[in-house]
Amino acid sequence: MCVIFSVPGHVFKRLHDFLLCTGFKSSKTDVSLFYFGIGDSRLFLLVYVDDIILMGNDATLINTFLHRLSAAFKILDLGTPGFFLGIEMLSAGNDVVLSQRRYMTDLLGRAGMADCKPLSTPAVVTKVATPSSDSFDNPTQYRHVVGALQYLTITRPDLAYAVNRLCQFMHSPMTKHWGLVKWALPYTKGTLGYGLRLTPSTSSSIHAFSDSDWVGCPVDRKS
């Protein structure tokens, strides 16, 4: 079960203290994430300014917590999340699909590439990157667009490598780096329907894969 609600932004400190007093613990990796567990029941609460998303595997526990919360704070229950922080949540049977289609469409418009021709890959795969001294004339635009692409990797891990590569040149982008941005954006145009599908699993195992080439790029000699 998952719900979203909002509270006045100025009560965050009180909300933080309230959560700790009710048994929630703060995540060591994200100060905005709180978690609570009792028996096999789990609750996760994520705070972003005045917007909050609450998720758990026990509907009764969630409703009990919301009742206690509403008694202490003035909250606006927005029900089951459909759109949160630019991410759309779509039900697909027992699965949940996280989509940033609207975010991608807006990004293409802001970059002036709404009518671009779609590409099948997010980066050039036939040419090796080489050092360049031709500075891009609008570095602010480069940083805005690449920063927006970085947020997109939340639901689009297929863009992670290409975007990470673009982020390496934030401090001083060259014209050819902007050309790489104009390659990544048409790829998003052709993959607007892509998203991150979350499927229930009985396993808690984490699998990681790495493919490193420490000399393939003459710019930094890293993969």
Q: CATH code at 71?
A: 3.30.160
191 and 133 part of one domain: yes
103 and 47 part of one domain: no
Tally helices (H) and strands (E) across the chain.
6, 10
Structure tokens belonging to residue 99: 């989509």
From 21, 55, 81, the end of a domain falls on 81
Could you tell me which residue, 108 or 15, shows the higher pLDDT? Answer: 108
Q: Where are the beta strands (DSSP E) in 17-75?
A: 25-26, 33-38, 41-48, 51-56
The total domain count for the chain is 2
| Residue 118 included in any domain | yes
Per-residue pLDDT tens digits for 75-106:
777 777 777 888 898 888 888 899 999 999 99
Does pLDDT of 214 surpass 70?
Answer: no
Q: What percent of the chain has pLDDT over 70?
A: 85
102 and 71 part of one domain: no
Rounded to an integer, the average pLDDT of 156-180 is 91
| Residue 213 included in any domain | no
| Residue 89 included in any domain | no
- pLDDT at residue 83, as a whole number: 79
Could you tell me which residue, 131 or 133, shows the higher pLDDT? Answer: 133
| Residue 152 included in any domain | yes
- pLDDT at residue 10, as a whole number: 63
Does pLDDT of 184 surpass 60?
Answer: yes
28 and 109 part of one domain: no
Could you tell me which residue, 50 or 64, shows the higher pLDDT? Answer: 64
70 and 31 part of one domain: yes
102 and 76 part of one domain: no
Q: What percent of the chain has pLDDT over 90?
A: 42
Rounded to an integer, the average pLDDT of 197-203 is 86
Cα gap 36→157, rounded to integer Å:
29
122 and 176 part of one domain: yes
Cα gap 102→120, rounded to integer Å:
20
Compute CA 212 distance to the chain's CA centroid, rounded to the nearest angstrom.
25
Per-residue pLDDT tens digits for 140-164:
999 999 999 999 999 999 999 899 9
134 and 60 part of one domain: no
Mean pLDDT of the chain: 85
9 and 68 part of one domain: yes
Provide the residue range defining the domain that includes 73.
2-81
| C-alpha torsion 49→55→58→59, nearest 10 | 70
Q: Hunting for tokens 């979350």 — which residue is that? A: 198
Per-residue pLDDT tens digits for 28-45:
988 889 999 999 899 999
Per-residue pLDDT tens digits for 117-131:
999 999 876 655 555
Distance set, CA 88 to CA 28, 56, 149, 193, 194 (Å): 27, 19, 17, 12, 12
What's the pTM? 0.73
- pLDDT at residue 178, as a whole number: 92
| Residue 56 included in any domain | yes
Cα gap 214→223, rounded to integer Å:
5
74 and 116 part of one domain: no
